[in-house]
Structure 1
Amino acid sequence: MSQHLIDVHAHIYPSSFPNTPIEEILLRAKAANVQSIITVSETLEDAKSILGLKNETWSDSLREMIEPCAGLHPVQPVGAMSLVSTEQANSILEFIQEKSAEIVGIGEVGLDYTPHVLKNAIDSNPNLNLSIEELKNIQQQVLARHIALSLQLDLPLNVHSRSAGHYALDCLRDYGARKVVMHAFDGQLKYARKGIEMGFFFSIPPSIIRSPQKQKLAAEIPLTKLLLETDSPALGPQKGIDNEPNSVIISATEISRIKQIPIEEVESCVLLCFH
């Protein structure tokens, strides 16, 4: 039987699963020996929703599975896909300080330089008259503020870095980030190696079974720096189908296959890494 597993990056709150009760998701995760779900936010509203789950009338064991984080994703759902603003950052950082005793980390934060995301942000906000480089700079400023608060509160960062792997790593290094999980890293192996040298962890989603890039990443990164995630409801084993934390065992199984070690060794290591 599988040991207790930890999903270090998932979006478990009602707006992410509008057609599925969160309690059912947690019950399926518990049945799959998932012990804890590090539950990250994308917006301030998400963060409030996550903390609200701790007051649900479920069993204590289900409520305890939710490990809340709060942070501002670099892409914000404002009209057409938009990008994070300094005003939004002010609100979430105040919330994190206020609720620091109730959260286990700061996330999901980071950088997103996906070309169509940057273009959409410019097209949907023509009055701002910002260049792509200026949009990138705003993201970096917001990430820097999250890093500073993580150091002040001694909380780990859960970092998004789509199409911006080495830029995010440079920003984390330049601002002195210490406790870092790089979530679903899509950068080149040479940049992942730099993250390893800085002591950062890398979490692997179930989409690894259909992603040669993630397979190479899992092969490259030492087991002592690997964690398991699902990014539920995204990055599941099947594209376009909602993913849940119970699929975290798929990540462990694939890492076991790639590294040719017993799955129990993978599970034991990730528990030690997280704690």
Structure 2
Amino acid sequence: MFQYLIDVHAHVYPSSFPNTPIEEILSRAKTANVQSIVTVSETLEDAKSILGLKNGTLSDSLREMIEPCAGLHPVQPVGAMSLVSTEQANSILEFIQEKSTELVGIGEVGLDFTPHILKNAIDSNTNLNLSTEELKNIQRQVLARHIALSLQLDLPLNVHSRSAGHHALDCLRDYGARKVVMHAFDGQLKYARKGIEMGFFFSIPPSIIRSPQKQKLAAEIPLTNLLLETDSPALGPTKGVDNEPNSIIISATEISRIKQIPIEEVGSNVLLCFNSIKK
């Protein structure tokens, strides 16, 4: 068995696990041979919390597991769920600039064109009188600014693309993004192939065991473009149950089964891929 695994996309900070001490989550991950957890933010407050853990009172061995990222998720928890704004982007981009030497990447960023999310945003912002396409373009503009900063700082991007797979890939291509992890990609295989051609990586969560789409994706993506994630506390093996980084072995085991290769090969390849994009 390989020595350790890397979770390239998780939300491991107190607001994501209000009823579970972070020390317990990290300890369980360490016991499961998880060495590194790329910890992504959805808001500026999350990003501050992640660096607080990294620089805080955790034991050295647990603190070293956290690989901090900062970014602005396209869906923001303001009252009823709303979409990202230019003003929010200004604040997180300033934070990333200031803390760039402490970060391993920029994320979670991207596009979310889920129909009910867009409808809720329109319904809750009637005073702005924005169309669906205008809301999509605001997301594109915010993603473009994250891309530009990632190029300036040479930091990889950790990208969300729910119901917007090919739109996100087009935006990444048009703005010259280089080091990219497509997190839990839900788009069609023909679009995933375009991402492969651009040299992007695709990370697979434990929900693969209950997702035919993720199983087909793992079969299609070359091993050299595959990474592992948990998206903790979401996308676990059991729907509706909090997920943790220690479940990353499920992703690795399922990829091993699908590709009919030893699990050790999956783990060693993930390490190579991770090191190739890490700052």
TM-score normalised by structure 2 residue count: 0.98
- What is the match of residue 189 of structure 2? 189
Which SS does the other structure have where 1:69 is aligned?
A: strand
Deviation sequence 1:33-67 (CA, Å, 0-9, x none): 00000000000000000000023322211000000
- CA distance in 1 between counterparts of 2:222 and 2:214 reads 14
Q: Where do 5+ consecutive residues of structure 2 fail to align? A: none
- CA distance in 2 between counterparts of 1:2 and 1:150 reads 31
Which SS does the other structure have where 2:208 is aligned?
A: helix
Q: Is the 8 A contact 1:109 1:158 kept in 2?
A: yes
Q: Is the 8 A contact 2:230 2:243 kept in 1?
A: yes
- CA distance in 1 between counterparts of 2:125 and 2:78 reads 10
TM-score normalised by structure 1 residue count: 0.99
- CA distance in 1 between counterparts of 2:97 and 2:75 reads 22
- CA distance in 2 between counterparts of 1:104 and 1:41 reads 12
Please provide the CA RMSD for this pair: 0.6
Give, in angstroms, the shift of residue 206 of structure 1: 0.1
Which SS does the other structure have where 1:58 is aligned?
A: coil
- What is the match of residue 176 of structure 2? 176
Deviation sequence 1:190-236 (CA, Å, 0-9, x none): 00000000000000000000000000000000000000000000000
Q: Is the 8 A contact 1:159 1:181 kept in 2?
A: yes
- CA distance in 1 between counterparts of 2:5 and 2:82 reads 35
Deviation sequence 1:86-125 (CA, Å, 0-9, x none): 0000000000000000010000000000000000001111
After TM superposition, the structure 1 = structure 2 runs for residues 68-83 of structure 1, keeping only pairs within 5 Å, are 68-83=68-83
- CA distance in 2 between counterparts of 1:54 and 1:83 reads 28
Q: Where do 5+ consecutive residues of structure 1 fail to align? A: none
- CA distance in 2 between counterparts of 1:224 and 1:271 reads 10
- CA distance in 2 between counterparts of 1:169 and 1:56 reads 36
Q: Is the 8 A contact 1:7 1:245 kept in 2?
A: yes
Q: Is the 8 A contact 2:159 2:182 kept in 1?
A: yes
- CA distance in 2 between counterparts of 1:186 and 1:150 reads 23
Percent identity, aligned pairs only, is 92
- What is the match of residue 9 of structure 1? 9
Deviation sequence 1:20-40 (CA, Å, 0-9, x none): 000000000000000000000
The alignment of Structure 1 onto Structure 2 pairs a total of residues equal to 275
- CA distance in 2 between counterparts of 1:84 and 1:232 reads 22
Q: Is the 8 A contact 1:181 1:200 kept in 2?
A: yes
Deviation sequence 1:1-32 (CA, Å, 0-9, x none): 44210000000000000000000000000000
- What is the match of residue 134 of structure 1? 134
- CA distance in 2 between counterparts of 1:206 and 1:141 reads 31
- CA distance in 1 between counterparts of 2:239 and 2:154 reads 36
- What is the match of residue 59 of structure 1? 59
- CA distance in 2 between counterparts of 1:58 and 1:40 reads 18
Which SS does the other structure have where 2:69 is aligned?
A: strand
Which SS does the other structure have where 1:128 is aligned?
A: coil
Q: Is the 8 A contact 2:32 2:246 kept in 1?
A: yes
Q: Is the 8 A contact 1:111 1:168 kept in 2?
A: yes
Q: Is the 8 A contact 2:2 2:268 kept in 1?
A: no
Q: Is the 8 A contact 2:252 2:267 kept in 1?
A: yes
Which SS does the other structure have where 2:234 is aligned?
A: coil
- What is the match of residue 120 of structure 1? 120
Q: Is the 8 A contact 1:3 1:33 kept in 2?
A: yes
Runs of 4+ in 1 over 4 A off after TM superposition: none
- CA distance in 2 between counterparts of 1:237 and 1:44 reads 29
Which SS does the other structure have where 1:232 is aligned?
A: coil
- CA distance in 2 between counterparts of 1:85 and 1:58 reads 34
Which SS does the other structure have where 1:49 is aligned?
A: helix
Q: Is the 8 A contact 1:79 1:124 kept in 2?
A: no
Which SS does the other structure have where 2:267 is aligned?
A: helix
